[in-house]
Every structure is written in structure tokens, then in C-alpha cells.
Amino acid sequence: MAALHELSRWIRDYGHDPRHQSRLLADRFVWHQLWTAMDVIDDVDSALTAYEQNDFPNNTGEKYLRIYGALQGLFIQQDALLDLIKVIHPTKEIAFNDVLKDIREVRNASVGHPTRMERKGVLSAHGIVQNSMRKEGFELLSYPEKPKMLWYVPLRELIQKQRAEAIHILSEVVEELRDQERAHRLQFREVKLMEVFRLVGYAFEKISEELGRDSGPMLCNWAVDHLQECLVRFEKLLNERGLTLDTYDVVEYLYDEIKHPLTELAKFLRREPSEVLSNKSAAVFAQALQTYFDRLRHIAGEIDEEYSSEPEPIVRPEPSGTPITFTIEHIGSKS
């Protein structure tokens, strides 16, 4: 079974992937909301783990703080879970089951709106029975119109059940995102980006040869045209995958670095006015350009390698689905 922190790490990696990052960054609030939600989910789980593992205090005030904190943590973790899914997987519909709804109601009654809570027109007030507070749970005294009710809240059980439900929900989301990613990679797996740069080495070889013998251009014009066509073709293939030049900062940088020297070198080789003034300076331009194209080819290979791989399937845990059991005792009569 996947642990919550493993799912969190996968979603963080997914959000930082350049292809998905460009979509998320299109709305700055959405971008910040995603990472805030991830932090809240992880931080609350850390706090609840501390609640489970550390000794329960003897001081009454600290007992209240632990219980208040645990219940509020469960509540905000649920909100963060919903917001996370809306951002990372907008088409996914999540409906809280009875387990999470029960946890939400317990929080509202205990520490959310204990002095006045209204449900379906019925008002109620609630108070934690002070001498009942333990790590495992506490008793909550409720005052509906009639009768009074004393019910036991199994707090530690709530923590365990919400963690199980959060793992189940995130596992389902991650599995669907993996399936989408797998389908996308499969669609473009046979279209190799490195193929775009297959003749780049030959093109620079021809440029170097003709600059070295100080003769008129023979294949140089073809060579510089081919280099320019490579850039156009590479950008087109990226666009077909839903990517742009600025998806990868290094690609955008290399295109900016290549544009000017390639233009000037092409002018020189065509005997047009150019900033390149001699064959020797043209050779320097060509060497710099070859370095940039080699880096582009390397990046294309890394992208091809990523598209050739297949995300590992995730084992989705079964939901707990078991309702939380509250022991309820009526106090007084209905008369």
C-alpha cells in the first residue's frame, strides 16, 4: 500500500514536470494553491503522527490543545485534499464518503461551532467532558432540544481512518494521472526528437571544410538552411506534444543564443553584409553554434528517453469504508 508521503512526493514531481508546470503556472494563484495544499496535507499528517506517537499530557490545558489541534488538523486536511485535486486533476470529481463526513461533523460539534450548531433547523450546543479526555478519544455532551446526549468520540480512530481515506483518494488520483501520462507518452514514443538533429554534425563538417579552404560556398548554404530547419522542426514537434520553447528554460536559452550568430553566419556564407568579417571569425561562430546544437541534441535525447519509459503502476489501497462507531447515551427523558 502506498503511504501518504509517497503519493505526496509523486504529485510534487508531477507538478514540477515542465509539461505540467506550464499549465499550472498559467494561473499564479492555482500554482501557489497547489503547493500550499500539498504542504498542509503533509504538515497535518506530521502533526497527527506526533499526536499518535507521543505521550498524552497530564495538564488539562494541554489536553484541550492536543484535541483541538487534532480535530482542526483533520478538518483543514480535508479542505486541502479537495483543493489539491481541483488543481492537479480538474476533471476528477471527489465526493466525501460517510467516514470523512462523520469526521467533519465531529470537528464542527467539538471545536468548530460548539456553542451553536444548526442542522436542518435543529439547534445544538456541545461541550467536551473534561475528565474524559484521553489520547484514544473523549466524551462529548450535546444539548439538543431534548434529550441531552453523551457520546464518545474515538479521536485516534478518526485519525487512522482519515489517513486511510486520504491515501485511497490520492492513490486513485495518481493512478489516473499516470494513465494519462502513459497514453501521452505512447502517442509520441515513436517520434524521436533526436532524429531532428541527425545531420547536424554533417552540416557543421561541411561548413568547416569550406571555410578552411577559402573557396566559394558549395554545401554551406545547404548546411545553414538545414540548421535553421532543425530549429523550426524541433519547435514544431515540441508544440505537438503540448510543449513550447519556454517549457524548458534551457531550450529557450539555447534558441536565444543560436538565433543571432546563425543569422550572421548565414549572411556571411551567402556573401551578404554581415557582422562576420572573415573565414576565421566565421569558424569561431560555427564552433559556438555547434556547441549549442550539441546541447539541444542532448536535451532531445533526454526527452526521448523519458517518452520511451513507462510510469510504474501504483497499487491503490482499498478504502476503509467502515463507518465510525460513536457510543451514544441519552441523558434524561423526552418528557
**Omega cis (within 30) before 217:** no
Question: What average pLDDT does the segment 31-42 reach?
Answer: 95
How much of the chain, in percent, has pLDDT values that exceed 90?
61
Is residue 244 within 8 A of residue 238, CB to CB? The reply is yes
Is residue 173 within 8 A of residue 85, CB to CB? The reply is yes
CA dist 16 → 20, 174, 273 (Å): 7, 15, 45
Confidence band (pLDDT; 50, 70, 90) for 312? Answer: low
Answer yes or no: is pLDDT of 41 > 60. yes
Query: Which of 12-16, 54-58, 209-213 has the lowest average pLDDT?
Result: 209-213
The mean of the pLDDT values for the chain is 88
How many distinct helices (H) and strands (E) make up the chain? Answer: 10, 5
Answer yes or no: is pLDDT of 84 > 80. yes
DSSP-assigned letter for residue 132:
G
Q: What is the pLDDT of residues 121-173, one digit of tens each?
A: 888 899 999 999 999 999 999 887 666 788 899 999 999 999 999 999 999 99
What integer pLDDT is reported at residue 107 of this predicted model?
A: 93
- If you search the block for the grid coordinates 492555482, which residue do you land on? 30
Confidence band (pLDDT; 50, 70, 90) for 217? Answer: low
Distant-in-sequence, close-in-space partners of 42: CB < 8 Å, separation ≥ 6 = 4, 5, 8
Q: Which residue has better confidence, 1 or 258?
A: 258
Handedness of CA 109, 112, 113, 117 (dihedral sign): negative
Q: Which residue has better confidence, 279 or 329?
A: 279
Distance of alpha carbon 164 from the chain centroid: 20
Distance CA 32, CA 30 (A): 6
Q: Which amino acid, one-letter code, is at 326?
A: F
Confidence band (pLDDT; 50, 70, 90) for 322? Answer: low
